[in-house]
Amino acid sequence: MSYKASSADRNNEMDAVSNTEKDKLPISYKDFSLLHEIAVVCLISLAQLLTQAGLGQAMATAHLAGAEFGVSNPGELSWFIAAYSLTVGTFILPSGRWGDLFGSRKVFIFGYGWFALWSVIAGFSVYSNKVLFHFCRALQGIGPALLMPNGLALLGKTYPPGPRKNMAFSIFGSVAPGGFMCGAVFSSIFGELVWWPWAYWVMGMICTLLVMLCWIVIPQRYDGDVPHINKGLLAQLDIVGSTTGVVGLILFNIAWNQAPLVGWQTPYTYILLIISALFFASFFVNELRFTRYPLLPMDAISLNTSFVFAIVGAGWASFGIWVYYFWQMMQELRHHSPLVIAAQQSPTAVSGAVAAFVTGFLLGIWPPSYILFIAMIAFCVGNILLATMPVNQSYWAQTFVSMVIMPFGMDMSFPSSTIILSNSMSREHQGIAASLINTVVNYSVSLGLGFAGTVETHINNSGEDMLQGYRGAWYMAIGLSGGGIIVSSYYAIVTRKQK
């Protein structure tokens, strides 16, 4: 009996050791059942869906909220959208580092919790004033900033390069147009039938539910190799780099989005630009010379990645202009209700899903640089169609076609650019890889609105000719996406020669 007992004890010890060692191994999709894998991918992809829903909910309720707060100027209304996109784009970069250090799973779940909290408070700001609402929208955007790079990092750690990874990233990108549409549709319903703050309160409820589901479904093994907090770990946070980088991005963006309201002749607008430039300079000096753990590893900034950043930034800046001024024209010149406009934009959900799966297939046979080129064409054509459409034209003539084409720009550029960076970085830097693309995407949306607002206010004859102002904004978007076509075509040629 003693012999059998000792053998059982030894077997139990070996099982315990093997389980411990297993927990330290990198996780893989092969560790999941198919149903579990689908659940994990869905929960991670919902981060993309809700990020875009947060954009759509403000777009649909902008005029309703503006009426509540006494705001009617289009430039000021754009801050309801720009404040959110600003913090999404700005805080994504340090968020990727936080995920690498403290665990992508933990930061991802915390992101849903943060998103829930500030969505609820944003709704209650109706009892206060527009300043609190702007503030809440900005803090609300930090939730997606935590979610997006860490969700992509989880996918990057789960899938090795190959068709399965391409499809997972394409699914993540495919929900963006549907997410925007869901946010716009349900916010329009709440705005017309109940009260617009309910859009934010319901968003908070959904995010709270997702906190619980993610805690149960996403394995803790993702955080198994997270180090204990110590001085060395704190140094890896690169607090100086995070601070200078975030402040520089915020001030630069505020200057461009505030200028349409107060004019460039107002001293603080260009002073903010100068200060932001100083912060940017401090950031790069710190990253290059002083920190041992740069927030932005310079070895990650190659000629290829620089091309990708320029292309994606131009395309998504044009998208932000496209969608904002579409809503402005439909409401102000065609006099449609938010719910009707959301219905008119519904083809983007179907088209986006088709584009994502086509992209997942094409990435298996074409290099990502080719996909980026096609995406830029879609961005440009989508803007041309809106910029040239008459006010009283049938929806089915140009508007509908633009709704079908534009998602191909979104859902072809996002997965292809993310895959380029993900495949070029090590497993432990997947958070940084994901955060770089997300920073460019979301920051460009906010910055593009600032550029377009400046153009609009200078050519709309002090608000007397709204159509001319809107067209000017769209021509700005055409210029951005057209520049993206030129750069992406050159990039495609370069990568082909490299082969």
Domains and CATH numbers, the chain: 32-238+291-498 (1.20.1250.20), 239-290 (no CATH)
Q: State the pLDDT at residue 446.
A: 80
Q: State the pLDDT at residue 393.
A: 93
Q: State the pLDDT at residue 334.
A: 92
Distance (Å, rounded) from C-alpha 137 to C-alpha 120? 11
495 pLDDT above the threshold of 70: yes
Q: State the pLDDT at residue 405.
A: 95
Section 234-257 average pLDDT: 83
Tell how far CA 378 is from the center of its chain: 19
Q: Which of 59-68, 258-267, 330-339, 466-475 has the highest mean pLDDT?
A: 466-475
Distance (Å, rounded) from C-alpha 439 to C-alpha 308? 12
Distance (Å, rounded) from C-alpha 378 to C-alpha 383? 9
- Does residue 481 contact residue 376 with C-beta atoms inside 8 Å? yes
Distance (Å, rounded) from C-alpha 335 to C-alpha 322? 18
- Does residue 430 contact residue 422 with C-beta atoms inside 8 Å? yes
130 pLDDT above the threshold of 70: yes
Tell how far CA 150 is from the center of its chain: 12
pLDDT tens for 275-316 read 999 998 998 888 888 887 777 766 666 777 788 889 999 999
Q: How many Cα atoms sit within 13 Å of 492 on the Cβ side?
A: 19
pLDDT tens for 410-430 read 888 877 887 777 666 665 555
The residue type at 488: S
18 vs 113, more confident: 113
Residue among 99, 79, 155 nearest 446 (CA):
79
Residue among 239, 351, 319 nearest 481 (CA):
319
225 pLDDT above the threshold of 80: no
For all residues of the chain together, what is the average pLDDT? 83
Which positions ≥6 away from 188 have C-beta within 8 Å? Answer: 60, 61, 337, 338, 339, 341, 342
Distance (Å, rounded) from C-alpha 430 to C-alpha 28? 14
Tell me phi and psi for residue 61, to 5 degrees.
-105, 10
pLDDT tens for 28-74 read 666 778 888 889 889 999 998 999 899 888 888 888 888 888 877 76
Section 220-249 average pLDDT: 73
Q: pTM to 2 decimals?
A: 0.78
- 423-461 in b/e form (b: 16+ CB < 10 A) is eebeeebbbbbbbbbbbbbbbbbbbbbbbbbbbbbeebe
70: how many CB neighbours lie within 10 A of its CB?
8
> Cα-atom radius of gyration of the chain, to the nearest Å?
23
1 pLDDT above the threshold of 80: no
pLDDT tens for 315-334 read 999 998 999 899 989 988 99
